[in-house]
Amino acid sequence: MMLSEKKVIVGVTGGIAAYKAADLVSCLRSEGASVRVVLTRGAQEFIRPLTFKALSGHDVYHTLFGGPDPLPHITLADKGDVLVVYPATANFIGQAASGLAPDLLTTLLLAFKGPVLICPAMNTRMYTSTVVQTNLRLLEERGLVIVPPETGRLACGETGPGRLPPPDTVMEMIRGALLKKDLGGLTFLVTAGPTREPLDPVRYLTNRSSGKMGYAVARAARDRGARVILISGPTALTEPPGVSVVKVTTALEMRRAVLERFDTADVVVMGAAVSDYRPKGVREEKLKKGEPEITVTFTENPDILAELGKNKRHQLLVGFAAETGEIPVHARKKLEAKNLDLVVANDICQEGGGFEADTNTVCLAFRDGRFFDLPTMSKYLVAHRVIDAVLELREEETGRE
Ligand code: C5P
């Protein structure tokens, strides 16, 4: 359990979504975290302290003055590894941005030195207002993590951005906030998902890639402090918060998006399953049925990674290789042919690995011939092992300079 022994402070402010905080506290506890809850006055209009007392197993903090502890903000600040405000109202965000401290939660925010996550939730017009956006940007510039709200139907009946993300999303951000920031100052360019190659206005050629591995690399790099650009083919996955996502469809679009950003990248992880071929010339009209047989001619797509390999300067290049049989041999060949630094190879025939799964069984092939088999694990943990390997390579390189 990644959060066991971790001390999490949950601040709840007075929005309709405050009821979701009960679920968050329960999820945190089930992962072994110790949780303290701070309620603002507004929050208590929506949900009673008793709920949180029962769920956290501790008294709830709601007042700066008159409680049993004369300095609750300092006691709490020393007690927490991470502070998450879920939900955060426009009022709280405004106070936090201006450094005001009229109550326990805002005072605690000033005294707390660990990572802070703010989860805004409010009416769309309030959320998109210039003042709220400016305040959020200010908080972000000061190092607080803003977990963007989801777009959907809001309590007021309107539809738009402002919905509080579910506890799962925030749990992931909390885990990430507690990781060592060993990628600070580095830019990761990550590709993910399949590409889609049109045949006519309604049909296309694609493959079974779900994008989960590439998205996991993007999330893991983000959690370790990297600036992450994720170039994604069409997937059903939600955009990871804190990552700048560029959506593309075809291999040619992906190539352009990657090349445009290659200079700014320190590390490129090509997790996308780029289609090797595209139908030659997209038909303008829908292909009609009635022919007993048709022939489609394919043109080869550019190999993006091979092109990066030819032009790389300071960048470390990581490629993926989905193979069957003789994995080490294929991995080495790919590494040399494309001038890569690391190849993450997986046997697509093996159980626990492959396309739509949440787990993967991979091996890592290095330039100098080293080769490691990793056990089956979640794609997020595989991503961390890949990043560990990248850091090792960077250290070796700086040692040589
Ligand atoms: O040669 P193969 O397709 O097996 O190589 C896989 C690696 O090369 C992956 O990292 C994939 O993202 C990348 N690739 C690419 N452009 C292509 C085909 C694959 O960048 N056209």
Q: Are residues 318 and 351 in the same domain?
A: yes
Determine the atom of ligand 1 nearest the C-alpha atom of 307.
20
Indicate whether 163 and 211 sit together in one domain.
no
Q: What is the mean pLDDT of each run of 10 residues along the chain (401 residues)?
A: 89 97 98 97 97 97 89 92 98 98 97 97 97 96 92 90 94 92 97 97 95 96 96 94 96 98 98 97 90 94 98 96 85 95 86 73 92 90 96 88 67
**One domain for residues 119 and 172:** yes
Which pLDDT belongs to residue 353? 57
Q: What is the pLDDT of residue 400?
A: 72
258 shares its domain with 166: no
Whole-number pLDDT of residue 1: 57
Nearest to 303 by CA among 280, 337, 329: 337
Where helices occur in 263-400 by DSSP H, the ranges are: 304-311, 327-337, 379-400
Domain count, the chain: 2
Indicate which residue's Cα is closest to atom 21 of ligand 1.
Answer: 303
Pocket around ligand 1 at a 6 A CB cut-off: 251, 270, 272, 274, 276, 301, 303-305, 319-321, 334
Q: Are residues 43 and 112 in the same domain?
A: yes
Domain that holds residue 253: 187-400
Set 27, 119, 156, 349: catalytic member: 156
Question: Quick one: pLDDT at residue 352?
Answer: 56
Give residue 273 CA to ligand 1 midpoint distance, Å.
6
**Residue 156 designated active-site:** yes
Task: For residues 318 and 339, state if they share a domain.
Answer: yes
User: Given the CA of residue 276, which atom of ligand 1 is nearest to it?
Assistant: 21
Q: Which of 252, 270, 338 to mutate to test the pocket of ligand 1 (most atoms within 8 A of CB)?
A: 270
Check whether residue 227 and residue 365 sit in a common domain. Answer: yes
* Residues 155, 23 share a domain: yes
- Note whether 170 and 229 are within 8 A (CB): no
Residues 196 and 267 reside in one and the same domain: yes
Ligand 1 pocket test: which of 195, 207, 274 has the largest number of ligand atoms within 8 Å of its C-beta? 274
Residue indicated by tokens 């300067």:
313
Alpha-helix runs per DSSP H in 235-296: 251-262
Residue 316: CATH number of its domain: 3.40.50.10300
pLDDT computed for residue 297 by the predictor: 95
In a domain, residue 182? The reply is no
Within a domain: 61: yes
Q: Say if 70 falls within a structural domain.
A: yes
Q: For residue 243, report the distance from its CA to the centre of ligand 1, in Å.
A: 23
1 lies in a domain? no
* 334 CA from centroid of ligand 1 (Å): 9
- Together in a domain, 161 and 87: yes
For residue 2, is it within any domain? no
Ligand 1 atom at minimal distance to the Cα of residue 308:
20
Q: Which of 268, 303, 330 gets mutated to test ligand 1 (max ligand atoms within 8 A of its CB)?
A: 303
The answer to the question of residue 43 being in a domain is yes
Whether residue 373 sits in one domain with residue 344: yes
Q: Are strands 227-232 and 277-279 parallel, antiparallel or unpaired?
A: unpaired
Cβ contacts of 68 within 8 Å, gap of 6 or more: none
Q: How many CA atoms lie within 13 A of 283 on its CB side?
A: 14
Question: What is residue 264's three-state secondary structure?
Answer: coil
CB atoms within 10 A of CB 259: 14
> Is 53 a member of any domain?
yes
Q: Measured in angstroms, how far is the CA atom of residue 44 from the centroid of ligand 1?
A: 54
Dist. CA 287–CA 198, nearest whole Å: 12
Q: Residue 139 belongs to a domain with what CATH number?
A: 3.40.50.1950
Q: Which atom of ligand 1 lies at the shortest distance from residue 319's CA?
A: 10
Residues 173 and 70 in one domain: yes
**40 assigned to some structural domain:** yes
